[in-house]
Amino acid sequence: MGFFILIRKTKPKMLSFSSFLAIFIATFLLLHPSQAQLNATFYSTTCPNVSNIVTTVLQQALQSDPRIGASLIRLHFHDCFVQGCDGSILLDNNNNGTIQSEKDAAPNTNSTRGFDVVDNIKTAVENACPGVVSCADILALAAESSVSLAGGPSWSVLLGRRDSTTANQAGANTSIPAPFESLSNITAKFSAVGLNVTDLVALSGAHTFGRAQCRLFSNRLYNFSGTGQPDPTLNTTYLANLRQICPQNGSGFVVTNLDPTTPNAFDSNYFSNLQNNQGLLQSDQELFSTSGAPTISIVNLFSSNQSAFFQSFVQSMINMGNISPLVGSNGEIRANCRRVNGS
């Protein structure tokens, strides 16, 4: 009897210990997934020169198109926000409709550019190290090189992403922020991929270079939100300039500089522009002009201290580049960035 009582008394303890073990193991597996992390030395033996190759092709492209670096970093952003940084944005439509290209999604159509330069980089990289470097990593490397060549910070890009075999056009339509959205909606879209308001403000600083089409901000110039008036947050001098570039009945496809002060340089002027009410997109100006927003003090910091901007920008690019990469044996190394292998 006493023996049984002993067993019955200790059994619950044994059970709770094994449940504890199970929970511990499950938690460990969740926090330490079997997939490896990205790292800066991923290609150090298999393609040690990849970074220089990317930069060389980019430098050539910049000679005929000073905007191309801006276009390439935007591709990395639009890649990462849709099922992670997996090169999905680079896939073209295929014959049977199983790939609906993200290039035709609302934020990308008639807007994203640089796909031919990505192809040129891929060709140069394949010539040096066939079948080794993913298209997703090429976008991450090209983004860093673009910033660095435009006078911004340099950093060690974390590598080891693999390429998707799928595209997600519906996801691209809904996950990528639009310039007409409210700050709270854009904050929510960043939060959905694990990026906070510091990341939002720092990464928006990429609008320190590149261009935007009239159709993406002209609502601010003439009849903002049905008021019959321009956006009241627009600097009146800047408004007059923009009305000349984007007349009411003109082509919405005309482009102008996102940063009117230093259009091709990567610097902190984007933030002083916001303080001067010279943000081009509604989504830009909202970071500074939304009453009580947590983004205002970050804009002020980055405007007054370019080093602080650069430091945060690098951290936030790494954060963005870490969004759900395919690693290990997931996905593939595409031979052609536009097509899934074997198709």
Ligand X SMILES: *[C@@H]1O[C@H](CO)[C@@H](O)[C@H](O)[C@H]1NC(C)=O
Tokens for 68, please give them. 């191309």
CA distance 217 to 213: 7
Catalytic residue among 67, 74, 78, 103: 78
DSSP annotation of 256: E
| DSSP for 286-321, written as a single string | HHHHSTT-TTHHHHHHHHH-HHHHHHHHHHHHHHHH
Cβ-proximal residue to ligand X, closest one:
36
Q: Which does 42 bind (CB under 5 to 8 A by kind): ligand X, ligand HEM, none?
A: ligand X
Binding-site residue total for ligand X (CB under 6 A)? 45
- Is 78 in the active site? yes
Nearest to 219 by CA among 238, 240, 243, 186: 243
Q: Which stretch binds ligand HEM (CB under 6 A): 32-40, 71-79, 222-230, 334-342?
A: 71-79
Tokens for 156, please give them. 């060690």
Nearest to 184 by CA among 101, 286, 103, 280: 286
Q: Which of 45, 63, 64, 95 binds ligand X (CB under 6 A)?
A: 95
CB of 118 to ligand X, least distance (A): 16
Question: Which 100-159 positions form the footprint of ligand HEM (CB under 6 A)?
Answer: 111, 113
Q: Which of 6, 14, 25, 106 binds ligand X (CB under 6 A)?
A: 106
Name the residue nearer to ligand X (CB basis): 19 or 110.
110
CA distance 321 to 162: 12
Q: Given the DSSP bridges, would you call strands 255-257 and 211-213 parallel, antiparallel or unpaired?
A: antiparallel
For residue 258, give Cα distances in angstroms to 15, 64, 246. Answer: 63, 20, 14
> Is residue 257 within 8 Å of 281, Cβ to Cβ?
no
Name the residue nearer to ligand HEM (CB basis): 286 or 332.
286
Q: Does 15 bind ligand X (CB under 6 A)?
A: no
Nearest to 281 by CA among 208, 215, 217: 217
Question: Which 264-303 positions form the footprint of ligand X (CB under 6 A)?
Answer: 276-278
Q: Which of 47, 73, 167, 333 binds ligand HEM (CB under 6 A)?
A: 73
Name the residue nearer to ligand X (CB basis): 9 or 127.
127
Residues in the site for ligand X, rule: CB under 6 A? 36, 39, 41-42, 49, 52-53, 56, 94-96, 98, 100, 105-106, 109-110, 160, 169-170, 173, 181-182, 185, 196-198, 223, 226, 228, 235, 237, 247-249, 276-278, 305, 307-308, 311, 315, 319, 343
- Tell me the catalytic residues: 78
